[in-house]
Amino acid sequence: MHLVGEWAIWQKAGRRSQRTIEERSRVVSLFIKESGVDPLTAKAMDIARWLSQHQEWGQSTAATYYSYMMSFYKWLVMMDYRTENPMHKIPGPRRPERSPRPIADSDLIRLLSIDMHQRTRVMMLLGALAGLRVAEIAEVSGEDIDLDAARIHVTGKGNKRNWVPLHPILMKVAKTMPTKGLWFPGNCRRPGLPIRSKSVSDIIGQAMRRAGIKGTPHSLRHWYATTLLADGADLRT
């Protein structure tokens, strides 16, 4: 596992976001744990066998995880830990064409009407009423909220920062959340750090399944965008 740690340091030196580093490291560590294979001696079929075991992954997730493994093995070769990259022998999953898949209005109402923990409801509202990705939801803190200007500060992909308007419902919710520090802190194994984005996805996903609703947590973000467009918002904006 020390190799994963070294890879994380190398990525940090290249100014990769902490979110990206953690997610890449998590997936590679999962491979090492589940396969029981040393990454320095792993063969293409060892990796292919592990990838094939996870049929529960969607097409997009499988393609993303494949890219993480490819990046890791490229690094191993570049750092002279290996002489060849076994990922070159494994066909990469095709990324699906991206098209909006918003949750239906009626499903959103039904989803928000079921019994759930307050933090689960807040996570959902941040996705549906501010359009935040699960990774962005995980990192929300009290300092990101500007109630006077009715806006929330969001750090998105590529560390791009922007202000997003706060829906009136989120304004009320924000008043019940901490004004300082993380809204969704990690557990005792992650002191001072936010909950993992996958945990946010799992929490929302479980609630959606309990409500009998098809879709993914990202469907909330799609609902936000398509609803804005339907109400006449500018596409570029």
Residue ranges of the chain with pLDDT lower than 50?
A: none
pLDDT of residue 229: 81
Per-residue model confidence (pLDDT) at position 99? 67
pLDDT digits (tens, 9 = 90+) for 58-88: 888 899 999 999 999 999 999 999 999 999 9
Q: What pLDDT score does 42 carry?
A: 96
Residue for token pair 């941040």: 126
Q: Which of 92, 118, 91, 128 is nearest to 216 (CA)?
A: 128
Within a 10 A sphere around the Cβ of 135, how many other Cβ atoms?
21
User: CB under 8 Å to 133, separation ≥6 — which residues?
Assistant: 127, 156, 157, 197, 218, 221
**The model's pTM:** 0.65
Q: What is the pLDDT of residue 94?
A: 84
